[in-house]
Amino acid sequence: MKILQIVQIHWYNAEVQYCYDLAEGLCRLGHEVHVLTRKDSLSAEKARERGFTLFEEDGFNGKGLAALGAFSAAGRLLSLLKRESYDIVEVHRSEGLFLIGWACRRAGVPLVRVRGDMRPVKANIGNRYVYRGLVDGVVATNSTIFKGLSERIGGIEKLATIHGGVDEREFSPEGELSDLRESLGFSAKDFLIGIVGRLSPVKGHDHFIEAAKGALREDSRLAFVILAKSFSAKPEELERLRALVGDEPLFRERIRLLDHRADLPATLREFDLGAVTSVGSEANCRVGLEWMASGKPLLATRIGVLPDIVEEGVTGLLVPPGDRKALQRSFVNLASDREKTRLMGQRARFSVEERFTLSKLSTSHEVFLSDILSSDAH
């Protein structure tokens, strides 16, 4: 198949990563995949780094009077579709979706909408027309999105859930360890709990810190690390979180904040437990899968895709978002039975190998797209 992936996003967020992981996997399966994203953007930069054939277009993202530029963008897309003779298109955002659908219809190219946004889809006439009649299939990146589309739109003939994936070879229990414990003064006997991600209120770091403080009052052998996943942490946010930790020696020594670690796979191996404490978002949770692929159980909130990837009591634990007491109890209970926690980590790794690899992501899309093309041919 010759496939165009459209991801009209300026930044490199979870939706873009899902798209690019998918594109790379489809290429490995022997398909030709091109990417269309925004001009002079971080997403375009990442596409170049990953070696994709790239087209850049900003017309679908205009606001106010600039929104009229979407009509010109649709014309340029129509020309691209005819020139490149794509077999099928996948679009990962809603901006300009009606006009993208129009261009695909004019070119005779099937269109698949990949929805990785936790905001409920609007149940209006326009969306019903787009999802039921203009696109040829819809992929939801988690079961909550799938349910929302089924209940609020309904009547979508081809609708599937396809989760994101992780490179299980890069993130693995096997391999070198980092110097994290040694550099922070933690011993092998300390039960080390980590949270990794951008420092944003939606990620629930405040709840993580308050739960950590409560858990340390019960068991001082615990240790906690908050790690920014990229060089994106604002100094003021780091200082705010450090102030939340406080000046009490036990908390200052046992709850640590780090801006970034370049050796992330080796660093994750140092931990006993991974945590995702988000209070919103998480349509795709790459870091959760990275923890699990590294052989660590995942303590997560019931948000977005997380209930899909964590099997309660088997590969990790689930708690209500914002419930600091539930987080605290889970920290203490998991640390008190390390053998049980270790076995949960093993099962988490097995779950990733079975269900959440990049290969599974790409082959699932390959089957879905092939089915649409087969149906379209008849």
Cα→Cα distances 173→94, 261, 264, 273, Å: 38, 18, 12, 13
Q: Is residue 156 part of a domain?
A: yes
In this prediction, residue 235 has a pLDDT band, given cuts at 50, 70 and 90, of confident
Identify whether the C-beta of residue 318 lies closer than 8 Å to the C-beta of residue 338: no
Write down the residue that tokens 């690390």 correspond to: 225
Q: What is the mean pLDDT of residues 241-250?
A: 92
| 234 plus 365 within the same structural domain | no
Q: Is residue 175 part of a domain?
A: no
Evaluate whether 256 touches 183 at the Cβ level (below 8 Å).
no
**Is there a domain that residue 171 lies in?**
no
Q: Are 272 and 186 found together in one domain? A: yes
Asked if residue 204 and residue 101 are part of one domain, the reply reads no
Residues 136 and 265 in one domain: no
Residues 248, 271, single domain; the answer is yes
Q: Which amino acid is at 316?
A: G
pLDDT in tens, 287-304: 999 999 999 999 999 999
Q: In the predicted model, what is the mean pLDDT of residues 199-220?
A: 94
> Is there a single domain that holds both residue 106 and residue 219?
no
211: which 2 tokens?
Answer: 């739960």
Residue-wise pLDDT for 29-61, tens only, equals: 999 999 999 999 999 999 999 999 999 999 898
Q: What is the pTM of this model?
A: 0.92
Confidence of residue 375 (pLDDT cuts 50, 70, 90): confident
Same domain, 192 and 334: yes
- Indicate whether 196 and 236 sit together in one domain: yes
CATH at residue 258: 3.40.50.2000
Q: In the chain, how many domains are there?
A: 2
Domain contains 220: yes
In a domain, 286, yes or no: yes
Indicate whether 378 pLDDT > 50. Answer: no
Say whether pLDDT at 64 is over 70. Answer: no
pLDDT at residue 376, rounded to an integer:
65
- Residue 24 in domain: yes
Domain annotation covers residue 172: no
- What is the maximal distance between C-alpha atoms in the chain? 71
254-280 pLDDT, tens digit each = 999 988 788 999 999 999 999 999 999
| Mean pLDDT of the 302-321 span | 97
Rounded Cα distance between 228 and 205, Å, is: 11
Same domain assignment for residues 146 and 202 = no
Residues 127 and 185 placed together within one structural domain of the fold: no
Is residue 174 assigned to a domain?
Answer: no
The neighbouring-strand residues paired with 37 are: 56
Rg (CA), the chain: 22
Residues 124 and 199 in one domain: no
| CA dihedral of residues 27, 29, 30, 34 (deg, nearest 10) | -20
**In this predicted model, what pLDDT tens digit does every residue of 174-198 receive, in sequence order?**
999 999 999 999 999 999 999 998 8
Inform me whether the pLDDT recorded for 6 exceeds 90.
yes
On average, the pLDDT of the chain sits at 93
Structural domain range at position 25: 2-165+357-377
Q: How far is CA 371 from CA 133, 159, 375, in A?
A: 17, 12, 6
Q: Do both 192 and 322 map to the same domain?
A: yes
Q: Is the pLDDT of residue 318 over 80?
A: yes
